[in-house]
C-alpha cells in the first residue's frame, strides 16, 4: 500500500520533501547550513532559482489578514513596533 500522507512538506518553493527542521526537509536544511545561510530565510529561496527579475516570494496574506482582524487592526499594524510601557492618553 503506498503512503498517502506523511506530514507537512518542506516549505521551500519547488521542494516536496518531508519537513524536518525549521520548516525545511533534511536536504534543504543541510544545504542552508553548508553555505552558512539562515534557515528561516532559506525557506524563501526557490529550489530552481528565480525565474526572472519580477519573480517574488508568495507571502501569507490570508494568515496576516486573519490575525489582524482578530486583533481589530490592519495588516501593517502587525509589523509596526509596539510601544513599551504604559501609554499616556489624554
| Cell numbers 489578514: residue | 65
What are the backbone dihedrals phi and psi of residue 21, each rounded to the nearest 5 degrees, phi first? Answer: -140, 140
Can you give the pLDDT at residue 87? 61
pLDDT digits (tens, 9 = 90+) for 18-69: 999 998 999 999 999 999 999 888 888 888 888 887 777 777 889 989 999 9
- Which residues are 24's β-sheet partners? 21
Does the pTM surpass 0.85? The reply is no
Per-residue pLDDT, 5: 66
pLDDT, position 53: 76
CA within 13 Å, CB half, 73: 10
- Report which of 57, 53, 33, 34 is spatially closest to residue 45, judged by C-alpha positions: 57
Instruction: Read off φ and ψ for residue 37, nearest 5 degrees.
Output: -90, 150
pLDDT tens digit sequence for 37-47? 998 888 888 88
Q: What is the pLDDT of residue 90?
A: 53
Amino acid at each position: 500500500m503506498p503512503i498517502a500522507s506523511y506530514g507537512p512538506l518542506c516549505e521551500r518553493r519547488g521542494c516536496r520533501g518531508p519537513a524536518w527542521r525549521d520548516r525545511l526537509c533534511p536536504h534543504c536544511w543541510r544545504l542552508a547550513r553548508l553555505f552558512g545561510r539562515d534557515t528561516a530565510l532559506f525557506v524563501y529561496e526557490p529550489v530552481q532559482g528565480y525565474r526572472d527579475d519580477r519573480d517574488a516570494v508568495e507571502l501569507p496574506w490570508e494568515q496576516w489578514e486573519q490575525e489582524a482582524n482578530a486583533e481589530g487592526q490592519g495588516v501593517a499594524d502587525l509589523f509596526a513596533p509596539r510601544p513599551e510601557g504604559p501609554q499616556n492618553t489624554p
